[in-house]
Amino acid sequence: MIGADVGVHTVMELIDDLRAEVRKRKIEDASELQPILSEKLVELLKGDGDPGLRMADSGITVILFVGVNGVGKTTTIGKLAHRFKSEGKSVLLAAGDTFRAGAIEQLEVWGQRVGVDVIKQQSGSDPAAVMFDAVKAAKQRNVDVLLCDTAGRLQNKTNLMEELNKIFRVIQREIPGAPHEVLLVLDATTGQNALNQAKLFGEKSGVTGLVLTKLDGTAKGGIVIAIRNELKLPVKFVGLGEKMDDLQQFDSEQFVHALFA
């Protein structure tokens, strides 16, 4: 489990749990341990059940994506836009990362690929103003889903968190009940760093769920067990490549099975 990035702290807790279970059930055969451990991990990851996305009861569903640069936010937005479109929903994208050079263009490339419009302003403009425009356009066009990209620079954490809060407030003010999800995107290959990012964003930006990207590589992504254990944040999707279809809804059982494969 440590090799799979679960992290020492959580592994120690799981061992304590397992030891208690062994005593309780009077287990003597070591081969029974792994199934019990798998059961416990699935239980921990599932929480109240593998959650889908929270959608608006009626009207526009707004989903905000947060996370540091390079984790796969833009790619995930593109993949999710494709997923919603194939379900027959209308989608609009908001280019809220006005800071990183090329971020707006990259989102536009995804928009063209998937066939959805992108609401943008110039690079360097106020992201909250972009969100205001995007919400207005979403209302005018009566779209089903608005997916919002945000900046991921970490050099200046305070500013970034203030910026995210401002975006949050604009969306909340314009559409009561929104954003319906704030998804923190994490790169599975970054191990314990992902836990630190989850702590940082989780506390400050009202994260409601996780997307774990780059699980198509060698990383097993065990860090989400630690994140679930310590921060109680559910994983909603996993990224399995760079293409449009490489996004899957998270399945705890399949994930735990792959962890021990």
Binding site for ligand GDP (CB under 6 A): 67, 69-75, 106, 152, 213-214, 216, 239-242, 246
CB of 244 to ligand GDP, least distance (A): 11
Q: Which is nearer to ligand GDP, 8 or 109 (CB)?
A: 109
Q: Is the peptide bond before 35 cis (omega within 30 degrees of 0)?
A: no
Q: Is 75 annotated as a binding residue?
A: no
- Strand segments (E) across 197-254: 209-213, 235-239, 247-249
Q: Is 130 annotated as a binding residue?
A: no
Strand, coil or helix: 146: strand
Q: Which is nearer to ligand GDP, 37 or 78 (CB)?
A: 78
Q: Is 10 annotated as a binding residue?
A: no
Q: Is 97 annotated as a binding residue?
A: no
Q: Which is nearer to ligand GDP, 214 or 220 (CB)?
A: 214
Sort strands 247-249 and 235-239 into parallel, antiparallel or unpaired. Answer: antiparallel
Q: Is 111 annotated as a binding residue?
A: no
Q: Which is nearer to ligand GDP, 152 or 191 (CB)?
A: 152
- In angstroms, the Cα distances linking 32 to 35, 81, 117 are 6, 43, 53
Within 13 Å of residue 187, how many CA atoms lie on the same side as its CB?
Answer: 15
CB of 68 to ligand GDP, least distance (A): 7
Q: In this structure, are residues 73 and 93 in contact, taking their beta carbons and an 8 Å threshold? A: no
Binding site feature residues for GTP? 67-74, 149-153, 213-216
Which parts are annotated binding residues?
67-74, 149-153, 213-216
